[in-house]
């Protein structure tokens, strides 16, 4: 007998690669049901991945999006989140803000946002994520963007593990969602309707794949909060669905060092669809940070 | 894992199993950090680490988005107990773009996509002959993605 297990591994961590081995940290986010008694013959595991806020921020940075401190969730809001759902979502939001500030080398802002993330983690009971030793490491590496990202990675990994081990996987999913929503908000908020940047619009459109995975992720958990968020994400997905995908046959050719994949999917959209997505993301994000 | 009818035996096995599970989880992370990250360089780790325990005969599919014009390295590593794991990268129509070679340690594929693509990484763990102990081996499999972003087109701008 065969059966299908649906697993989602999504990791919202931010990393940088120019560090040495010992400093390379990552987030492992396992929905690990592989040892159920139902395993009889063979399980096919299906994973979905959602871009980390770090990756999203880098993508938008490459399109020419500038650093705009006014877009970040205010550090003064950190005391507003009293439920664990708000805390989880905003833990993701502050993580994305932290990532964004770090990519633009805003070390002072990084410290502020690290403290916000710490507060969210502490309130969720994850006191080990940003302990004294971690904060000390952050202070020592404030001017080293790569090292700082690795430390942040480590803290989010600890958080993710903690939530999973304490049967709060749905909160882990909310952290991921909060991070993705904030990352896309930060990338899209500067889009000028009168003179929309083509690279920014393209990067927004490319998130079509991520929203599909995120909706699936929310659907995995039998919890009213993930169901509620899924309903809201479906509104955004409906806008993304207006982006038409066409597919041609792929071909692989060898360049100097790497293989180059030609063909495949391409996305077709109008600026109006992108504006609609941007507005929907803004609405949801503002609802989350209230 | 097999089910045992004897409840006491089952409980014992369960306790051992939980212990193994926790041990394996930490071990997967440590294993990935020590062996995976060095092989990813000089690419920048994308911040995602997909890692879980597998048994012989397991198959996994991971859908991943690769952004236009970035260079990527997809790297798969696993524990030896699982044998010759094979990994493939498929396009949306399930066409094989890359297949690792049997016996290859730390296989990886470096590539670039000319337009943003969602590709599927498939992991196949080979089946193993039954052993007299009836203990099914388990091992970690991790998938790492590194990238080199395209050149930034603008300098940092401050807007207050």
Cα A178–Cα B121–Cα B82 angle in degrees, nearest 5: 110
Selecting from A14, A18, A42 the residue whose C-beta is nearest the C-beta of B57 gives A42
Q: DSSP readout, A95-140?
A: HHHHHHHHHTT-HHHHHHHHHHHHHHHHHTT-TTTT-HHHHHHHHH
ipTM reported for the complex, 2 dp: 0.76
CA-CA distance, A62 to B39, in Å (whole number)? 25
Chain B residue closest in CA terms to A13: B47
pLDDT at A38: 32
φ, ψ of residue A226 in degrees (nearest 5): -70, -35
Least confident of A43-52, A60-69, B48-57, B125-134: A43-52
Are the beta carbons of A204 and A117 closer than 8 angstroms? no
pLDDT digits (tens, 9 = 90+) for A173-216: 999 999 999 999 999 998 999 999 999 999 999 999 999 999 99
Write the secondary structure of B89-126 as one string of H (helix), E (strand) and C (coil).
Answer: EECCCCCEEEECCCCCCCCEEEEEECCCEEEEEEEECC
pLDDT at A44: 60
Check pLDDT > 80 for residue A252: yes
What is chain B's mean pLDDT, rounded? Answer: 77
Look at A249 and B67 and tell me if their CB atoms are within 8 Å: no
pLDDT at A51: 82
pLDDT digits (tens, 9 = 90+) for A83-131: 999 999 999 999 999 999 999 999 999 999 999 999 999 999 999 888 9
Residues in A touching B51 (Cβ below 8 Å): 9, 28, 30
* Count of helices and strands (H, E) across chain B: 2, 9
pLDDT at A35: 32
pLDDT digits (tens, 9 = 90+) for B11-45: 333 333 333 334 444 567 778 878 888 898 888 88
Residue from B48, B73, B106 whose CB has the most chain A CBs within 10 Å, to mutate: B48
CA-CA distance, A271 to A193, in Å (whole number)? 8
pLDDT at B16: 35
Share of chain A above pLDDT 70, in %: 84
| Residue located via tokens 């062996």 | B35
> Residue A282 corresponds to which tokens in the numbers above?
């803004």
Chain B residue closest in CA terms to A206: B116
From B1, B5, B21, select the one nearest B140 (Cα to Cα). B21
Q: What is the mean pLDDT of residues A45-59?
A: 78
Residue from A199, A261, A267 whose CB has the most chain B CBs within 10 Å, to mutate: A261
Check pLDDT > 50 for residue A137: yes
Look at A17 and B43 and tell me if their CB atoms are within 8 Å: yes
Selecting from A9, A261, A263 the residue whose C-beta is nearest the C-beta of B52 gives A9
Chain A residue closest in CA terms to B24: A32
| Residue located via tokens 């590539």 | B111
User: Cα distance from A89 to chain B (closest Cα, Å)?
Assistant: 19
CA-CA distance, A52 to B145, in Å (whole number)? 12
What is the number of CB-based contacts under 8 A between chain A and chain B? Answer: 226
| Residue located via tokens 């102990």 | B133
Where is pLDDT greater, at A161 or A236? A236
Quote the distance between the C-alpha of residue A63 and its chain's center.
18
Selecting from A32, A68, A262 the residue whose C-beta is nearest the C-beta of B52 gives A32
A218-225: Cβ within 8 A, 24+ apart: A218/A173, A218/A177, A220/A6, A220/A8, A220/A31, A220/A173, A221/A169, A221/A170, A221/A173, A223/A170, A225/A85, A225/A170, A225/A174
pLDDT at B26: 56
CA-CA distance, B154 to A62, in Å (whole number)? 7
Chain A residue closest in CA terms to B20: A35
User: Cα distance from B80 to chain A (closest Cα, Å)?
Assistant: 19
- Please count the other Cβ atoms lying within 10 Å of the Cβ belonging to residue B68: 16
pLDDT at A277: 98
Selecting from B52, B92, B153 the residue whose C-beta is nearest the C-beta of A30 gives B52
CA-CA distance, A163 to A281, in Å (whole number)? 26
Q: Count the residues in chain A.
A: 290
CA-CA distance, A186 to A72, in Å (whole number)? 7
Residues in B touching A32 (Cβ below 8 Å): 21, 25, 52-53
Where is pLDDT greater, at B46 or A287? A287
Chain B residue closest in CA terms to A150: B47
Selecting from A7, A15, A202 the residue whose C-beta is nearest the C-beta of B47 gives A15
pLDDT at B133: 65
CA-CA distance, A81 to A90, in Å (whole number)? 8
Low-confidence ranges of chain B (pLDDT < 70): 1-27, 130-134, 149-160
Residue from A25, A38, A49, A187 whose CB has the most chain B CBs within 10 Å, to mutate: A49
CA-CA distance, A243 to B116, in Å (whole number)? 14
Total-model pTM = 0.80
Look at B45 and A44 and tell me if their CB atoms are within 8 Å: no
């Amino acid at each position: 007998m065969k059966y299908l297990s649906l697993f989602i591994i999504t990791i919202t961590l931010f990393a940088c690669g120019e560090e040495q081995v010992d400093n390379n940290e990552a987030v492992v986010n396992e929905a690990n049901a592989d040892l159920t008694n139902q395993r009889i013959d063979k399980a096919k595991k299906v994973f979905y991945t959602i871009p980390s806020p770090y990756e999203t921020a880098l993508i938008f940075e490459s399109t020419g999006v500038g650093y705009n401190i006014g877009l970040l969730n205010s550090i003064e809001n950190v005391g507003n989140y009293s439920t664990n759902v708000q805390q989880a979502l905003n833990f993701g939001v502050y993580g994305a803000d932290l990532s964004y500030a770090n990519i633009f080398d805003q070390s002072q802002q990084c410290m502020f946002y690290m403290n916000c993330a710490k507060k969210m983690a502490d309130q969720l009971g994850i006191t080990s994520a940003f302990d004294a030793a971690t904060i000390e490491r952050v202070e020592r590496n404030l001017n080293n963007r790569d090292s700082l990202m690795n430390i942040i990675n480590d803290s989010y990994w600890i958080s993710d593990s903690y939530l999973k081990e304490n049967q709060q996987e749905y909160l882990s999913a909310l952290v991921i969602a909060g991070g993705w929503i904030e990352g896309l908000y930060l990338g899209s908020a500067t889009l000028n309707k009168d003179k929309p940047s083509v690279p920014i619009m393209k990067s927004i459109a490319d998130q079509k794949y991520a929203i599909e995975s995120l909706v699936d992720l929310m659907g995995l958990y039998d919890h009213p909060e993930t169901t509620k968020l899924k309903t809201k994400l479906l509104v955004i997905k409906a806008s993304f669905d207006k982006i038409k995908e066409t597919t041609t046959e792929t071909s692989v050719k060898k360049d100097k060092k790497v293989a180059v994949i030609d063909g495949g999917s391409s996305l077709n959209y109008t600026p109006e669809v992108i504006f609609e997505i941007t507005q929907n993301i803004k609405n949801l994000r503002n609802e989350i940070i209230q | 894992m097999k089910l045992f009818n004897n409840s006491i035996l089952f409980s014992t096995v369960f306790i051992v199993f939980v212990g193994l599970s926790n041990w394996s989880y930490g071990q997967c992370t440590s294993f990935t950090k020590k062996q995976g990250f060095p092989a990813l360089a000089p690419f920048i780790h994308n911040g995602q680490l997909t890692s879980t325990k597998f048994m012989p005969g397991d198959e996994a599919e991971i859908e991943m988005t690769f952004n236009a014009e970035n260079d990527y390295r997809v790297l798969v590593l696993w524990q030896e107990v699982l044998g010759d794991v094979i990994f493939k990268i498929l396009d949306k129509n399930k066409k094989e773009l890359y297949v690792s070679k049997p016996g290859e340690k730390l296989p990886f594929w470096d590539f670039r996509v000319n337009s943003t693509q969602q590709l599927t990484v498939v992991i196949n763990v080979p089946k193993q002959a039954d052993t007299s102990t009836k203990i099914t081996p388990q091992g970690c499999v991790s998938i790492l993605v590194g990238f080199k972003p395209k050149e930034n087109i603008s300098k940092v701008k401050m807007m207050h």
